[in-house]
Structure 1
Amino acid sequence: MSALDEYYAALERLKANKPNVLAKGSAINNDTVALEAGRKRGSIKKSRHTALVAVIELTAQEAGQNVLSPTQQIEKAKNKTKAMKSDYEQLREDYEKLLEKCNSLLLENFELRRKTHQI
């Protein structure tokens, strides 16, 4: 059996959730297919196995796994960070406004009490 055949067999086992080497429920990606086929992590290269990589990505999408490239993962993390910073800044502004309002009410309360004591 050639290495390519072993990769396809490993992919089918992962797809059926009946792996021999990995744990059940393992993610379907290039590295897990290579490990399941008895090879090293990273042995499936896009430059050498373009058809296999395309089949792996398609299978992962069909299995409901979101397959993102490392650059897409970084971009997603950056967007999430920007959104969190924006939310933080909005909360900070709201906090400052409420603090000003609270201090204003405390001052007004103090002045009203002082006036009522004078009367």
Structure 2
Amino acid sequence: MSAINEYYAALERLKANKPTVLPKGSAINNDTVALEAGRKRGSIKKSRHIALVQAIELAAKQAGQNVLSPIQQIEQAKSKTKAVKSDYEQLKEDYEKLLQKCNSLLLENFELRQSTRTI
């Protein structure tokens, strides 16, 4: 069996969610098809296997997976980074408030102990 036929067979197994090499539910992309076909990651080149790459992208879309362009991936990463930074800032603010409250309670506890000792 030629390599291209092995790639198409691997693609069909992934579409049917019955892979033999990869775990079930694996994403459909160039690398997973190559690995399922027993080849190395990155062995499917867009310049050499145009029809196969198009078939993989179509299968990924039909499977409900988003095939994002590099620009879209960067934008998605930026938005995730902004969300994480926002969450971090909120957590930092909450931490500072709790630290102030804890210190206030420690001071109050200390003052109450001092007042009970003098009585």
Instruction: Tell me if TM exceeds 0.5.
Output: yes
Give the drift of 1:51: 0.9
> In 2 relative to 1, CA 51–87 (structure 1 residues): closer, same or farther, beyond 3 Å?
same
Rounded to whole Å, the distance in 1 between the matches of 2:83 and 2:39 is 40
Q: Counterparts in 2 of 1:15-94, with a 5 A limit? A: 15-82=15-82
Q: Structure 2: any 5+ residue segments left out of the alignment?
A: 91-119
Rounded to whole Å, the distance in 1 between the matches of 2:67 and 2:47 is 18
Give the drift of 1:65: 0.9
Q: Structure 1: any 5+ residue segments left out of the alignment?
A: 92-119
Rounded to whole Å, the distance in 2 between the matches of 1:23 and 1:80 is 27
Identity of aligned residues (%): 83
Give the drift of 1:88: 9.0
Paired AA for residue 19 in structure 2? P
RMSD: 2.4
Paired AA for residue 29 in structure 1? N
Aligned residues: 93
- Structure having the higher Rg: 1
Paired AA for residue 72 in structure 2? Q
Give the drift of 1:85: 6.4
Rounded to whole Å, the distance in 2 between the matches of 1:38 and 1:6 is 8
Give me the TM-score of the superposition, normalised by structure 1: 0.66
